[in-house]
Every structure is written in C-alpha cells, then in structure tokens.
Structure 1
C-alpha cells in the first residue's frame, strides 16, 4: 500500500523535473529581478571584476552578461558569471554551449563547466588552456566533459582572466546530446529514501572504558569491511551511514558478549545472501596487500566470522554505490558520501561515523598506507575517545585535522574554510609572506606590497618570537595540525599561518642583520589579505637569461606557446626549467619529448581493487617521447624545492630522463598521484593521493619526492640581499 501511495508522488516529481526548460534555468539571461545586477539564478565568482547584465550588447533577445576587467588587476583574480544546476539527469556526457563576444582581452576567456560530487569537484574545464584572447564578434563555443554517475551539482559559466571585456549569451546544456528539457532523469538509489536519522543519530555515550573503546574500534572496522565488501551495500540498497546508528546501541554499553554476537549476526544476515565468487589469491608481487587478520581477534564469534569469510569471497561488481575507480586513472572515487553540511558540530554518533568513514577509506583505498609507518589499527583506537569526547565544533575539527595529518600525505589537508578553526588559529593575517631558511621562518615577500612598509617588517627579517612565545615552541604546537609528506613541506605549509591572530596587532621579535627588535605588526581580515597572491608569481613563462641560456617557468607555461618557444630554446646551449611552481598546463607528453632522443620510461603506478579491497598492484611502466634526432642537445638544469608538488613532481620525473640534466634544489613536496576528494560529517573536506606513483625501478616518490643531484637552499643572507641563489647555481652549472 505504501508503494502505491508513493508512486503518484514520484510520477509528479518526474513530470515536473522533465518539464524544466532552459527558461527556468535562465540560460538566455533574459530574466532579471528588480534591484539585481545579474540575471536571475546567476551569481558572480571571483573578485575585482565588473560582472553585470548588459542590454546594449546581446546575441539574441534583449540581454547578455558582461564581464569587464578593472584598471588594475590583482594577482589571482578573475571574473566569472556562474549558475548552478541540479545533477538529476541520466547520461554519460555533458556539454555546455554558449555564445561569447570579447574585446581587447589580454589574458583569456572561456566557458566554465564544473561537475561536483558530494566530496568535491569531479570534472572541470574552463578553456584556459586554449588561450583565447584578443577581439572577436559573437561566436558559439562548446565544452564537453564526462558526466559521472555520482554528480551532485552542475556549475556553468563564462570566465575572463586579464584585461578586456567579455559578453556571454544563450547558453545550452545537453546530456548525451539531449537538451535538459528532454534529458532522462536518474532513478534515485534506495539508500536516499532512508531518512530515519536525518535529525541526529540518537546515540549517546558517557565516559568510555577501555573495553568500550575496543568494542567501538572493532565495530568501526566491521562496518567498513561490509561497506566495501558486501554486494548489498554496493548496490545502494542501504544507507550505510544510518545502518551504523542502528547497530551501535545493540553492541555497546552493557550488552553481554553473547548478545553482541547475536545482534551482529542478525544485522549482517539481514543484508541478504551473497553469491560466491572465488577464494581470491593475492599476487606476492603486489605493492600492498589487504590485512584482515583483525577479524579473528575481534570477538565476533564463529558464526559471524563464517559470514564474513563468505562475504570476503563474494562476487563483486566493478562499480559500487560508495566506491569506484576513476576510468583511465584508477584513483578511488568516494562517491555518494553525505557531507551533513548542516551539522557544524555533529552528535556523538555522527562523529564516530566521521572517524569510521575516514579510517576505512585509508585502510582499503590509500595506496601509501604502508608509509603511515605506525599501526593504523592503533590509531583508530586512539581516536575513538577523541571523537566521542569532543566537546564542541573546534574540538571535533581539531581531532579530524590531526587524524588527517597522521596519514603523512601533502594532499591530505583541510580544503575548505572553517570558521571554528579560523577562530582557533586566528582570523587575521599579517601582510608578510614567510618561508623557512636555515630552519628559521624568514620574511621573503609580501602579500600586498602597499602594506609592506606599515608592517614594520623587511625581506630577510628572521622571526624569533610571536606574542612573546618562541618560534620553536609554536612550531611544536602546530605540527600535529600541519599536514605534509615530509618535514620541509610541513614547515612550508605552516609558514603562512605563523603570523595569524584574532587581534589587530601581533608582537613579533625579529633578527635584522646583527640587531634584535620587537615590532608591532598589523594583522588584517582575510578579505584584505590574499595569502595566495604570490602563487606561481612570475611575469613570464619564458625568456633568454643570456643569449645562449633559456629560462622556462612552467607556472605560466601553456602548450599553445610551443611553436614560439621551441625554436628559441633550440638555439641555446643551456636550459633552466624552474619547477618551483605548479605547472599551468600538462607538459608530460608535449614539452618533454623535445628533451628526449627516444621514448623513455619514467613512471609506473599502483591501483586499488574493487574485487579485493586493500589490494594494490603495479601497472606497466609509462613512457614519453619518440625517436627524435632533433632533441634538445644542450645542458639542462631543473630547479625543485618543497613547492614542487604533485603534477610538478610528475613532470619533473619526466624531465629527469633527459640525457644531460642536473636537478638542483631541495626535496620536493613528496605527494605524487591524482587527488581523491573526501568529505566527512560537518562538511569537512579533505583528500588523499589516490594512486601510487613509482619510478620504473620501483623506487618510492611518496614522502621521498624528487631528490636533487645537488642540494642548494636559500640562505638568510641571500634572501636579505635579494638574490635567487638556486638560479645563480643553475647559471654557474651552465657556464
């Protein structure tokens, strides 16, 4: 009877959704509400640019959207008109079409299409790699992306970077070539209809005894084992978050051992029988093997153990409601994980869910789990009381941040802003940019040059104390909450946060040359200070330092520049590639072959497994380049340091196979591999390096990084003198 009552409602929903048209999404920009500067359902992304409705220029109808650059453009700023659509459609490909007109554009323009899941961005394209600039009349453009099955939101827009003006009009969104008005809708998974604990887990717990902590730890491991092994959970028939809340009161508290075993048996049996697969054998050459020995020691009882053994050998599909492997890449896709964004401070049950969710993601799908270098099971036991006993939002988020830091991965950090943590660490920032040199924090630049003088600080100042506390003590306090694969990158990540405060002034003791002095340093709200202002800070991607020495900065490089750059580099005897940045374009199969006389292997990967969660196996080695008698025959110097991260490290691995190359600098960020986003209750967003990246001979890159042939680091004296000592050493090598 209940199903019969729900059916008409479902049909009404489907008919209503399918009746949505482009007019309802205002894709033609014609609907403008009184008092609004942008068309209805549209918003401005980016800062500093004029983004408004324009009735003077339009492709059709009466209106378009205008993006206009300011007279002075600050680093890292852009203009974007954006809108968000629900990802309720069935299909495999999504396309955004739109008409654009632009005038005197010096940077680039593009359509923006971004697909988000609950955990973060899944697909993204903004046409910036095409470098479309200049002046052009109305023309239709298009971008296409895969449309993931776990998409939650569709973001569309028009983007302007640099000087000039851009008009956009008449957008269309198509799913598999079908306009949204006629695109079929997805059938929602059964898990989404379970709403029992939407208002809270209803689980409370008092002071935990050691036995209770062990019980909760074992339950968290069991819950995660079933999540990634049981076909019924993989099908999306169960809200597995809420299943935890159903079993929790049955196995915790004063429940006797026999009662716990019976409750667990009934809970697992209730998921239904499983179809046998095979007794999966693990290749001895596997990079990482699953460890399920804990099951025998958990006290579940022989009946439950027999059930789990059957489930371990069950037949599993290549896809699952909660986990998948990204096509062509293989990094884990933690899909359909609810962020519970409305719960800034989740209750005890949801806090345990947060811990269990993260712990099991690492246990089964982190390719570098072996590099955590401590007992991951003991970490779970350690953090159970930390999560349960968190007294407020700040304590909960600090516990989550410390847990994330324990995986020792530079990609594993908090991605989103947290008001609670901002209040804890300081809402205001000084204008000075710090870096570590000779083990000490040193002023190396300013986020805003107009505020440099009034900061009272100078480039080269060494920070000794902050608010009467020695820097060494501050570093020790902050390290548990500072993520990174190795100590240099942890210090790099810590540096921007040393001069933070909730007060408008910070008392800083500095060493300047031979003097020590106290300075009252102003601290500004985040709206005033852009701590990312110096990211990839260079005025060009290429120049000739000397007539016979070329300099390349990948942070500003685009593949479209190759026809102009390569002939100039070919004339030189030396090439400096400054990889103290993040590449603006993917260079591995475009620029790298220019450096190689033939195809050369530079990397191999490890991928996880859907059939055997926890198993990671090696892929064949990957090569770049081809037979090329015209390869670059000059000497190459590659500069790296702790800012060389992820794609920059991957690119450096490729360049390192060149015949005559010297790598100088310091150890890199040591976090290679595509990022897999993760979301935890309370909308805590983080991620991990999702695939293992190794040299062809099996050497690690994670936590090791790209090791230079010659270690060269900035000195305090060099910073004070305004010298780039690494670049000087590169030129010396090329003499």
Structure 2
C-alpha cells in the first residue's frame, strides 16, 4: 500500500493543529488518559495505536502502530509545534523499530504547514523486522511561510512499528535556542484579523463594475508592482483599506481617480532594465485586454501599462515555482481558516485571489468554455449574496468548476458541502456502462451473498427519483475536465447517504426490481484497497496463457521493472493495465524496457514568473534510456485505460504510447495532466490546478481531451454479468492477431 503525499497531507491537515507552543512530549513520557499527551492518531481503521511500556528505546514508554485485519491503509501519530522560530533547516530525528512490515513501510514523517514541505520516508521506508535504529528527516524551514511543524511516525500497510526518543532541531540547535522568526511586513499587519469591515447589499450596476475593476487591478498589482512583490505590505489587507472607497464610487471616472491615488501611494516605479517583451513563440501570452473594459479611463490604462512594462523581476513574495518541474507555487497565502463563513470582504478576497491566480498562472486558460475575463463580474453577486457557509462553499465550487480541470475541486475545508452528500457509502462500485449506472463490483467480496444487488444491475431510480434526473441536478457541482471524469465522480457519490439503507429501483434482465441497499461507514468497506490494490498480496505482474505478460500499475513497486524486464523479455506481448493510479512512477523505469533510446513522448509549457501570463513550450522529454533494461522488448504492447486513469496515469500512458508496437485501448481518460499546484482560499478552503501544460511532441493537447485510445473498448452490461474483463480479452486478441 502506498499513499500519495497530497492526499496524506490534506487528510491530516484538519486533524492536528495548535494555538501555542506545547511542552514537547517527543519522548512519550507524558501520559494522559492512556495516550501520550498532546499527540493525535489518525488514519485507517485497520490499525491499533497504543503506548507501550515493554518495548522502549529509552524511558518508560514508546508509541506503537499495529495493523489489524487487512492493513491496507495507513495510520500515524502526529505532534504539532507552532512555527514561532526562524532558521534555514529543520530536522526530525528519532528511533524506529519494526516487526513484519510488508505491503508498505514504516518510518518518521514531518510536514511544514501550509504546504511548505513534506516527507514521510515513502521513498526509503523501513520494511521487514528491524531493531531500534535512528532515522532523520530534514526540510527547508522557510520561516516566513511556515505556521506549524507536524512530526510523528507512520505505518503504511501491514506489520507493527514503534517510535521513541524523537527530537526536533533547527540548524543543529534545539528549538529553545533557535532564533526568533523574523516577520515580514505583510505578516506584521494584523489590522483586519477580526474582519474586513466591508459590507454591501443589493449592489447597483455601477458598484458591480467598480468591484470588478478593483478585483482585476488588485490582482494585477499583486503580481507586477514592486511594492507588493517584496512582501513589505499585506496585500489582502490593503484591499480592505480601499474596498469601500472604490466600491461606492458613483461613476467610472471617480472610481479610476481613486484607484490612481491608491497606486500613487506606493511610490514611483523605476524603469526596468531587465524586463523582456513577451516571446513571439510563447504558447500563452499575457492577456491585459481587461484594461480597456468596464469604462476604465485612458489615464488608468496608461498607468497600468507602465507598471506592466516595468514589472518586478526579483524573487516574489506571493509567487514562486517548484524546482525542476516549474509549476507555480502560490506562497504566503493566508487561509483564514478560523473564519468558517468569511464576511463579505473576505468572500470577495477569495474570488479575487482565485480569479487572478487562474488569469496569470493557469496553463490551460485557452481551453476553458468561458471567457475568463467575464467570469469575475459574473461571480461577484454570488459571493456577496452567499448567506451562510454552505452557500459560500457552493459559490467557490462552481467558480472552480469553470476552469474545467479534474484536478480542480474543493479538496478540503468544505465541511458543509460534504455534509450534504451523506457520510455513509454503498457496498458496491458503480460505473456508467452503456449510459446506465451499473453495479460493476463489490468493495468487500464477502458481502456479495448478503446483498440483493447483483453485478450488472442498472440503477434507474434512487428513493423513487429517476437516476437521470438526479445526475442532471448534480452536474454543476462536479468540476471536471471532460464528461467522462464528471460521470465517474458523480457515480462514486450518488449512492451516499446518512441513513441505514437506500431504496433503489434496478433493472435486471429487463425487469424492474425494488431493493433496499444497506449503507456502511467508510471504515467498514475496502474502497481504497479496491482501487489501489485489487488483489491483496499478489505481485503487480504475472504470466497469462499463451506467453502473454500482464502488468497492473495499481500496486507496482520501484523494484518490479527489473524483474519484469527479465521475465517478460521473450513474451509474445505485454498488457499494461493503467485503469488505476500508479503506486510508483513508471514512465521511465518501465518505459525504457519497451521503447528505444531517444523516443520522444511529451513536452511541457511552464509559466514565466517574470512575465505573468506567459507560458513557454519546452523541448520534448524522451524515454528509452536507463540501466534496468539492457535488452528491449520487441513484441506488442497493449495499454489499458479508462476514466479512472488520471494525471500520473495519463502521463504514463503517453510514455508507453510512444513505444513501437504499442496500442492504447479502452475509453477516454480523465483529461487532467500535469503536476498540481495548491491554492488556499479564505475560510480554510483548499483546491488545486494542473500547474504545467502537458502536450504530445507534435503539440497535440491532453488537457480535457484525455488519452484517446487507439481502439475504443468499453465494458458491456452483459460482460459484467458474466464476470469478464472485456478490455483484457481485446488486448489478448490484439496480441494474438
């Protein structure tokens, strides 16, 4: 079992928090109510977490995590330390002992909030049975961004681990000797911590225009003006200082004069000697057309153009990019998580922040359905009129949906929206087959005999309401790149609820049957295991009849390609199943076995942070080189994909498609490729975007399009009822032909 860094971090973000520096109980010697004081445990229900007085490294106690049942998830201990100190590097050291750890790993973990740094030893985790040994994790502290440090131990998969005698140091010194945090000018400004002091009801047409212009000018200055970029002023709070004055201007000319006065207050901008014109070959170019809309005066247009021409070129306080990959990092963004229902000003701040992030740093702005320039004004009334937490979350969800990116959804902080779906789950996996909601599998096979549902049942009504009507109502609330991904996500939640059961009408062999389907707590079902590891304890590869190799990436390990390249070298053909999310990164490790050296398969667009809005296309990447596969596979390769194939799965499919004699079969994938960039919004909302553009070597797009199969093969209701995998059958046919 493996867990992605993102989902692990998102899950635990709401579990551990701290308001003041605790006494550091990192040796587990302080016990309260039979647990280590100030520690939290979290994760799957297949685990027991305890204090242990018999197996210790030092003192009287250690902390343990032990798998029970299948152990197909993870569990962790966590301790939170407020980041009130400065320094360059923070290090966690501690002792770990393991017993029979398999199908995963054990180890230490450390996270710096909000999304500053993370390491859970997933690439060097401890396996098997080991005695006490000292381990360490070191991360860049980035004190101006860090708010909390969370440390602990983790067990992924089966077995048992103990942790003891942990220590946290900064630049080699204990925390009590670490230097104090040097706050930026922006962090020192606390004037609006209790609220924006802005309100408006029933805005007039003029006021809506004013707020639209203000939001765009505010965002433009955020990413271009030197006074903002260096971090000496809190740009969120600067908005609140002028919001009322500008919003209630009675005419365009009055508004623009007030904006010009506001800009002047930050001083003159010297001529920029390093600013370059936009590259003629840029894939996306800055879009400043909005400056000539909403009655903006020539004087204000000229001032904004001057700022653009002489824009900031140094290290920016609010925008950075990841090393090597180059997707945007939206830094120093306060989530205002304590404001579950932000006031009017903070709700508008949320809209402004998101609109400008997308406008300047989203690589796929050109493939949206809407004109993004018009979106800000469209949503201002909805954000103003959101009268409670749920309506605010829905407004944000619909705004996010407009960028048409399956990576973009509400991934945290949306408590009220999630509550509307219900907390209990169906015992079956549902997919759209032949345009019907069909039962395709049971999460827990042992439940099959006790349920009235059968494979191939088509659900036509839920609580007496036609399924088609419910689906139509849900579509606006499920952001996605394409129809396939949206239907996938709807099907995964359409049968959730809060009761003990759900009344369904199913179509079985042409007859309508009414049944009562029980609902279960998440912990009672193996939903995660079904998706990530369909066969417990079984290797990721096997030989099928007629000398055909089969590989699933659902539970592949970094070590597997070496064995695969030996065992499958003389196969008639290989089937690679990517109807899942790969548990290890395989484009190069496995790609070098099936593709010649120098095979191009992808190229990227990345943002130019020195010219917000510009994305430049890079050179193609290649597969085929490496040390694992000295001999290349010469036979046919058939790759299986469907709507469950997303992001890394799609990227991997692109790599394998480039191999000679390869064929992609199945159905269109989720259409969300590229490393993700996180976005934090007021009210503690968390979302993401695809942060770089991903294209085939010839420039053909993948976003929204997905990986379109060479041969479309979709499951049928008949095939599901008969327990057949029609994609594998087709793959065998292709290899044998």
Give the TM-score normalised by structure 2: 0.91
Q: What stretches of structure 2 of length at least 5 have no aligned partner? A: 1-19
Matching residue of 1:234: 229
What is the rounded CA distance, in whole Å, between the counterparts of 2:665 and 2:251 in structure 1?
63
Relative distance call for 1:236 and 1:37 in structure 2 (3 A) is: same
1:134 aligns with 2:131: no
Higher mean Cα deviation, 587-596 or 388-397?
A: 587-596
CA offsets, 1:667-724, max 9 Å, x none? 1111111111111111111110001111121111111111211111111111111111
2:674·2:691 contact (CA, 8 Å) conserved in 1?
yes
Higher mean Cα deviation, 683-692 or 77-86?
A: 77-86
Matches within 5 A, 1:472-491: 472-491=468-487
Relative distance call for 1:205 and 1:530 in structure 2 (3 A) is: farther
1:276·1:310 contact (CA, 8 Å) conserved in 2?
no
Q: What stretches of structure 1 of length at least 5 have no aligned partner? A: 1-19
Higher mean Cα deviation, 637-646 or 200-209?
A: 200-209
Partner SS, residue 386 of structure 2? coil
What is the rounded CA distance, in whole Å, between the counterparts of 1:95 and 1:637 in structure 2?
45
1:197 aligns with 2:159: no
1:59 to 57, 60, 81: 57
- Residue 618 of structure 1 and its aligned partner are, at CA, apart by 1.1
1:405 aligns with 2:401: yes
CA offsets, 1:67-89, max 9 Å, x none? 2221x1254x2222222223345
Relative distance call for 1:63 and 1:450 in structure 2 (3 A) is: same
1:416 aligns with 2:412: yes
2:501·2:517 contact (CA, 8 Å) conserved in 1?
yes
1:164 aligns with 2:164: no
- Residue 41 of structure 1 and its aligned partner are, at CA, apart by 3.6
What is the rounded CA distance, in whole Å, between the counterparts of 1:690 and 1:87 in structure 2?
28
Relative distance call for 1:535 and 1:417 in structure 2 (3 A) is: farther
Matches within 5 A, 1:67-82: 67-70=65-68, 72-73=69-70, 75=72, 77-82=73-78
Matching residue of 2:602: 603
Cα RMSD, aligned residues only: 2.4
Partner SS, residue 530 of structure 2? coil
- Residue 549 of structure 1 and its aligned partner are, at CA, apart by 1.5
What is the rounded CA distance, in whole Å, between the counterparts of 1:365 and 1:188 in structure 2?
27
- Residue 106 of structure 1 and its aligned partner are, at CA, apart by 2.4
Matching residue of 1:646: 647
CA offsets, 1:593-620, max 9 Å, x none? 1222212221111111222111111122
What is the rounded CA distance, in whole Å, between the counterparts of 2:672 and 2:441 in structure 1?
26
Matching residue of 2:48: 50
What is the rounded CA distance, in whole Å, between the counterparts of 1:300 and 1:684 in structure 2?
32
- Residue 147 of structure 1 and its aligned partner are, at CA, apart by 4.2
- Residue 177 of structure 1 and its aligned partner are, at CA, apart by 4.8
Partner SS, residue 472 of structure 1? helix
Higher mean Cα deviation, 361-370 or 462-471?
A: 462-471
- Residue 484 of structure 1 and its aligned partner are, at CA, apart by 1.1
1:35 aligns with 2:33: yes
Matches within 5 A, 1:214-613: 214-253=209-248, 255-278=250-273, 280-416=276-412, 418-449=414-445, 451-453=447-449, 455-526=451-522, 528=524, 531-539=527-535, 540=538, 541-546=540-545, 548-613=547-612
CA offsets, 1:634-672, max 9 Å, x none? 221111111111111111111122122111111111111
1:351·1:681 contact (CA, 8 Å) conserved in 2?
yes
What is the rounded CA distance, in whole Å, between the counterparts of 1:479 and 1:350 in structure 2?
28
Matching residue of 2:16: none
Relative distance call for 1:145 and 1:649 in structure 2 (3 A) is: farther
Partner SS, residue 504 of structure 2? strand
Partner SS, residue 407 of structure 1? coil
Relative distance call for 1:678 and 1:564 in structure 2 (3 A) is: same
CA offsets, 1:16-53, max 9 Å, x none? xxxx99x94222222x2332323544544443312122
Higher mean Cα deviation, 32-41 or 47-56?
A: 32-41
What is the rounded CA distance, in whole Å, between the counterparts of 2:549 and 2:170 in structure 1?
46
2:413·2:683 contact (CA, 8 Å) conserved in 1?
no
What is the rounded CA distance, in whole Å, between the counterparts of 1:657 and 1:569 in structure 2?
19
Partner SS, residue 96 of structure 1? strand
Aligned length, in residue pairs: 710
- Residue 129 of structure 1 and its aligned partner are, at CA, apart by 3.6
- Residue 282 of structure 1 and its aligned partner are, at CA, apart by 1.4
Higher mean Cα deviation, 607-616 or 205-214?
A: 205-214
Matches within 5 A, 1:88-167: 88-118=84-114, 121-130=115-124, 132-148=126-142, 150-167=145-162
Partner SS, residue 728 of structure 2? helix
- Residue 255 of structure 1 and its aligned partner are, at CA, apart by 3.2
- Residue 425 of structure 1 and its aligned partner are, at CA, apart by 3.0
- Residue 415 of structure 1 and its aligned partner are, at CA, apart by 0.6
1:733 aligns with 2:728: no
Relative distance call for 1:164 and 1:530 in structure 2 (3 A) is: closer
Relative distance call for 1:608 and 1:92 in structure 2 (3 A) is: farther
CA offsets, 1:489-527, max 9 Å, x none? 110011111112344332211101121112222334555
2:287·2:613 contact (CA, 8 Å) conserved in 1?
yes
Relative distance call for 1:605 and 1:423 in structure 2 (3 A) is: same
What is the rounded CA distance, in whole Å, between the counterparts of 1:258 and 1:622 in structure 2?
52
- Residue 389 of structure 1 and its aligned partner are, at CA, apart by 1.0
CA offsets, 1:361-418, max 9 Å, x none? 1000000011113211222221111111112221111111111111100100111263
2:71·2:158 contact (CA, 8 Å) conserved in 1?
no
Higher mean Cα deviation, 248-257 or 379-388?
A: 248-257
What is the rounded CA distance, in whole Å, between the counterparts of 1:432 and 1:446 in structure 2?
4
CA offsets, 1:155-201, max 9 Å, x none? 22222233322111222334455554444443111112222222221
- Residue 289 of structure 1 and its aligned partner are, at CA, apart by 0.8
What is the rounded CA distance, in whole Å, between the counterparts of 1:696 and 1:107 in structure 2?
37
1:110·1:126 contact (CA, 8 Å) conserved in 2?
no
1:559·1:591 contact (CA, 8 Å) conserved in 2?
no
What is the rounded CA distance, in whole Å, between the counterparts of 2:684 and 2:553 in structure 1?
34
Higher mean Cα deviation, 437-446 or 479-488?
A: 437-446
What is the rounded CA distance, in whole Å, between the counterparts of 1:48 and 1:215 in structure 2?
55
1:666 aligns with 2:664: no
What is the rounded CA distance, in whole Å, between the counterparts of 1:550 and 1:682 in structure 2?
50
- Residue 453 of structure 1 and its aligned partner are, at CA, apart by 4.9
Matching residue of 1:187: 182
2:224·2:311 contact (CA, 8 Å) conserved in 1?
no
What is the rounded CA distance, in whole Å, between the counterparts of 2:460 and 2:314 in structure 1?
55
Partner SS, residue 430 of structure 1? coil
What is the rounded CA distance, in whole Å, between the counterparts of 2:378 and 2:663 in structure 1?
45
Matches within 5 A, 1:601-640: 601-626=600-625, 630-640=631-641
Partner SS, residue 487 of structure 2? helix
Relative distance call for 1:370 and 1:155 in structure 2 (3 A) is: same
- Residue 225 of structure 1 and its aligned partner are, at CA, apart by 0.6
Partner SS, residue 190 of structure 2? coil
CA offsets, 1:417-445, max 9 Å, x none? 63311333334332222111111111112
2:408·2:687 contact (CA, 8 Å) conserved in 1?
yes
1:459·1:720 contact (CA, 8 Å) conserved in 2?
yes
